[in-house]
Amino acid sequence: MADKQKKRIVVGITGGIAAYKSIELIRLLRKAQAEVRVVLTPAAEAFVTPLTLQAISGNAVSTSLLDPQAELAMGHIELAKWADCVVIAPASADFIARLTVGMANDLLSTLCLATAAPILLAPAMNQQMFAQTITQANLTQLSARGIQLIGPATGEQACGDIGAGRMSEPEEIFSALQQRLLQKQDLVGLGVVITAGPTREAIDPVRYISNHSSGKMGFAIAQAFAERGAKVSLIAGPTTLPTPRNVHRIDVESAQQMWQQSLTLACQNQIFIGCAAVADYRVEQVANQKIKKSDDSNEMILKLVKNPDIIADVANLSQHRPFTVGFAAETQQVAEYAQSKLQGKKLDMICANDVSAQGQGFNAEQNALHLFWHTGNKQLALNHKNILAKQLVNEILQQYQQSQIKE
């Protein structure tokens, strides 16, 4: 963020237990030479004090719309015009609802209405509140209006619940801000297809075979390409993740559906990335009706048949073959198995992840990758999937560009 001109950031803090994490966000911004002004909603003052935030940000903290003293120093319209970017972290369900309907009943909501700067929002609330249809509808509307959502993360919450609603970590919010401010649109014209998430292979109308993939890794890669201007098609297995901005999403259920979409799109684009955890097998005969439990037998035998290998078929395209990147989810001999998939499936590159390690891989916020291509390899250390995805995009581009020079 340390470019010629200091970036001017308004950090809005609303009432929520995650408010304390914003102190670290402000510290990261200051460290990156940004100028920071903090706006607190009245509810936020119950969680963090203006005095602390003043000391961390190096500027007076604004708390009230109707404070003549504060208005004299920097009025709310002036503040709205001053900002290069407004980031609200944490954004409570109440604030999100007020922002959606365009209320201006406190300083922060008024500032959001009055600013032309990009607004980033890091929602934080109880998982049930986050899952509510009305909260989801509000977030969809805000996102459609161009407000960038960061997170929330999934995990244990302050109230003891487990689920989606935790505020994203300050490092992730900082990185999103940095990207937004320094956005390079250097990939305009590049077409990328990404598969993400699990597939579901039906057994009968109510049961299926699947796996633990959440889609987070693939969605993060889609977002990282889209932020740099690439045209991204995301073929997603069943997941509840929101669609990243400027990404064309195609929802599928089974491996066969994913295969069909992949083969159609792969030959129209330059890069194909297979991040989905595709079921290797499907049930040969899917029952039309729910299978009843048998009283006579203790076992039920399902006959499985092999699914098409999507990425191998893409890599074997004889015409308009894209640069093809696979993933390898391994629990042992990670490098060895990944390299054999690189060769066996005739890929250009493979990203190996050790899915036996705690806190990474399937349905985790973080991941670590060991990349292999035919002439080299590189390790990407454990990091949040959004940050890792940006690093991975750089590595893929480097190898893709090399491959273009050779052609």
Active-site residue list: 159
Query: Is 384 one of the binding residues for ligand PMT (CB under 6 A)?
Result: no
Is the Cβ of residue 84 or residue 309 nearer to ligand PMT in the bound state? Answer: 309
Stretch of 17-25, 26-34, 144-152, 320-328 contacting ligand PMT, by CB under 6 A: 320-328
Q: Which residues are annotated as a binding site for CTP?
A: 274-276, 280, 290, 308-311, 327, 341, 345
Give which of 80, 81, 5, 97 is closest to 39, Cα–Cα: 80
Q: What part of residues 6-35 is at the interface with ligand PMT (CB under 6 A)?
A: none
Least Å from the CB of residue 131 to ligand PMT: 19
CA 89 to chain CA mean position, Å: 17
In the set 19, 23, 48, 277, which binds ligand PMT (CB under 6 A)? 277
CA 42 to chain CA mean position, Å: 30
A 10 A CB-CB count for 308 gives: 16
In the set 138, 353, 383, 399, which binds ligand PMT (CB under 6 A)? 353
What letter does residue 349 receive in the DSSP assignment? E
Residues contacting ligand PMT: total by CB under 6 A: 29
Query: Is 310 one of the binding residues for ligand PMT (CB under 6 A)?
Result: yes
Is the Cβ of residue 151 or residue 215 nearer to ligand PMT in the bound state? Answer: 215
Query: Is 349 one of the binding residues for ligand PMT (CB under 6 A)?
Result: no
The angle formed by the CA atoms of residues 195, 357 and 152, to the nearest 5 degrees, is: 55
Is the Cβ of residue 53 or residue 277 nearer to ligand PMT in the bound state? Answer: 277
Give the pair of three-digit tokens for residue 368.
């670590």
CA 293 to chain CA mean position, Å: 41
Bridge partners (DSSP) of residue 380 are 369
What stretches of 183-319 show up as alpha helix (H) in DSSP? 216-227, 255-266, 310-315
Query: Is 217 one of the binding residues for ligand PMT (CB under 6 A)?
Result: yes
What letter does residue 365 receive in the DSSP assignment? S
Query: Is 234 one of the binding residues for ligand PMT (CB under 6 A)?
Result: no
Q: Which residues are annotated as a binding site?
A: 274-276, 280, 290, 308-311, 327, 341, 345
Least Å from the CB of residue 301 to ligand PMT: 22
Stretch of 102-110, 179-187, 200-208, 216-224 contacting ligand PMT, by CB under 6 A: 216-224
Q: For residue 88, give the H/E element and its range.
A: strand 85-91
**Residues constituting the chain:** 407
Rg of the chain in Å (alpha carbons)? 24
SS3 for 286?
coil
Is the Cβ of residue 79 or residue 355 nearer to ligand PMT in the bound state? Answer: 355
Query: Is 307 one of the binding residues for ligand PMT (CB under 6 A)?
Result: yes
Q: 121, 45 in Cβ contact below 8 A? A: no
In the set 255, 271, 380, 393, which binds ligand PMT (CB under 6 A)? 255
Query: Is 362 one of the binding residues for ligand PMT (CB under 6 A)?
Result: yes
What stretches of 267-371 show up as alpha helix (H) in DSSP? 310-315, 334-344
Give the pair of three-digit tokens for residue 224.
């990282």
Cα dihedral across residues 280, 284, 290, 294: positive or negative: negative
Query: Is 157 one of the binding residues for ligand PMT (CB under 6 A)?
Result: no
Q: What part of residues 166-195 is at the interface with ligand PMT (CB under 6 A)?
A: 195
Cα-based distances in Å from 160 to 128, 155, 331: 12, 10, 31
In the set 22, 41, 214, 339, which binds ligand PMT (CB under 6 A)? 214
In the set 70, 278, 283, 389, which binds ligand PMT (CB under 6 A)? 278
In the set 78, 186, 280, 336, which binds ligand PMT (CB under 6 A)? 280
Query: Is 328 one of the binding residues for ligand PMT (CB under 6 A)?
Result: yes
Alpha carbon distance 151, 324 (integer Å): 29
- DSSP E strands: which ranges in 67-216? 85-91, 119-123, 148-149, 153-156, 162-166, 191-196, 201-204, 207-209
Q: 388, 173 in Cβ contact below 8 A? A: no
Alpha carbon distance 194, 325 (integer Å): 9
Query: Is 361 one of the binding residues for ligand PMT (CB under 6 A)?
Result: yes
Query: Is 276 one of the binding residues for ligand PMT (CB under 6 A)?
Result: yes
Query: Is 315 one of the binding residues for ligand PMT (CB under 6 A)?
Result: no
Give which of 272, 270, 137, 282 is closest to 199, Cα–Cα: 282
Query: Is 224 one of the binding residues for ligand PMT (CB under 6 A)?
Result: no
Is the Cβ of residue 233 or residue 307 nearer to ligand PMT in the bound state? Answer: 307
Least Å from the CB of residue 369 to ligand PMT: 8
Give me the residues that bind ligand PMT (CB under 6 A), please.
195, 197, 213-218, 255, 274-278, 280, 307, 309-311, 326-329, 341, 353, 355, 361-363
